[in-house]
Amino acid sequence: MRKRETQKWLKLIQRVPLNKKPELLNDIIEETEELIKIFVTSIKTAEKKQK
């Protein structure tokens, strides 16, 4: 599963920096982390319901 691929790319862009203001990516990275947590929880819940 590649659920963290976007997060890794955003952090890379922030570090290199490929953006003139890499600090602007902080909010996006935080949102990505929250979405990952939501998706993981949803997947676990769905898997439990299938059993």
What digits encode the pLDDT tens for the residues 19-46? 788 788 888 888 888 988 999 999 999 9
Q: 3-state DSSP call for residue 20?
A: coil
* pLDDT at residue 7, as a whole number: 81
- Neighbouring CB atoms inside 10 A of 32's CB total 19
Separation between Cα atoms, residue 30 and residue 45, nearest integer Å: 23
Evaluate if residue 2 carries a pLDDT over 70: no
* pLDDT at residue 21, as a whole number: 82
* pLDDT at residue 3, as a whole number: 60
